[in-house]
Structure 1
Amino acid sequence: MKKKVLMIGLRSDAVEFDKWPQLTKEKLESAFVDTVTELAKNGYDAKWCLTDRGETAEQHAYHTLLKEKPDIVLIGAGVRADPDHFLLFEKLINIIHTHSSNAKIAFNTMPNDSLESVQRWG
């Protein structure tokens, strides 16, 4: 049975691209598609949970975790590495811990290293 991967990240319209000069909206949206495709080719059932910067992110993540019941949850660098999103990151960790306590947690550094991040845990 394929391991289920839920990737939590910011929607492209929620990203402040001046903080990530190597990215554009188009590159990021392409990476979202490429990441799911790459994970599927490597035997994973992967889905994105793309959120805003906090207005509804917790609720969206909560409902998606309950629906998907992932084996691995990857939190993207856009949430994790930006100090402005520290509180959102902390809230997401606690939601995962409470509602998907058996899931492994993985972190990528950019969308293109998500496979390696997931493979570390499953």
Structure 2
Amino acid sequence: MSSRPRNKIFWFYGNLSRSGRRLSPCGRREIMTRILFIGQKPETVDYSDPALPPGFDAEKIAAGIAVAVADIEARGWQGDTCMIAPDETAGPAIERQLSGTHYDCVVIGGGLRIPPRSLGLFEIVINAVHKGAPGAAIAFNTRPEDTAEAAARQLARSGRP
């Protein structure tokens, strides 16, 4: 459970419309910036790949993802994660995540685009995002911890909060 006060959590979640937009005290919808972070499931990464930074392992990536989510929330944004396996389920998993939810920015993890042998998976990810969220800004992180920074860069360029 988060260290946030319980009443703040209740206020936040108790004041969401069905679409996930926050409601003002008067009941009007306020636009909430939504971020989707797409990455590879840490347990499916080949850590022996020399293209990956040395010292990466599943625990470090999982901890970095937790930092990313906390940083996104600290900026007042709503963040979701979509961790995919490097197989035929990747594209459909992203499409399911994107269906029915509007995202202002989609951040694609470095582990999906940096290793040369991940090129095919990276193309699947890009095409699924293009299809499922054509109006979303697309950002790229260099490690899980800089996910919010990557989103902020692209949101600022596109004139979004």
TM-score normalised according to structure 1 size:
0.93
Out of 39, 43, 47, the position equivalent to 1:9 is 39
Q: Distance in 1 between matches of 2:73 and 2:132?
A: 24
Report the AA paired with residue 34 of structure 2. Answer: K
**What's the % identity of the aligned pairs?**
30
Structure 2: any 5+ residue segments left out of the alignment? 1-30, 156-161
Corresponding residue of 2:128: 95
Greater Rg, structure 1 or structure 2? Answer: 2
User: Residue 30 of structure 1 corresponds to which residue in structure 2?
Assistant: 63
Larger helix share, 1 or 2: 1
The residue correspondences of 1:71-82 to structure 2 (distance < 5 A) are 71-82=104-115
Question: In the alignment, what sits opposite 1:70?
Answer: 103
Could you state the TM-score of these two structures normalised by the residue count of structure 2? 0.72
**Structure 1: gaps spanning 5 or more residues:** none
Please state if 1:41 is matched with 2:84.
no
Q: Structure 2: which amino acid aligns with 1:114?
A: T
Specify the alignment match of 2:139 in structure 1.
Answer: 106
Higher relative contact order by CA 8 Å / sep ≥ 6: 1 or 2? 1
Structure 1 runs of 4+ off > 4 angstroms? Answer: none
Structure 1 distance, partners of 2:103, 2:80, is 9
Which whole-Å CA distance do the structure 2 matches of 1:110 and 1:119 have between them? 15
Partner of 2:148: 115
State the alpha-carbon separation in 2 of the partners of residues 67 and 15 from structure 1: 29
How many residues are paired up? Answer: 122
Q: Which moved more, 1:13-22 or 1:102-111?
A: 13-22
Question: Given residue 10 of structure 1, which amino acid in structure 2 is its aligned partner?
Answer: Q
Q: What whole-Å deviation, never above 9, does each CA across 1:20-59 have from its counterpart, x for those lacking one?
A: 3221211111111111011100111111100001231111
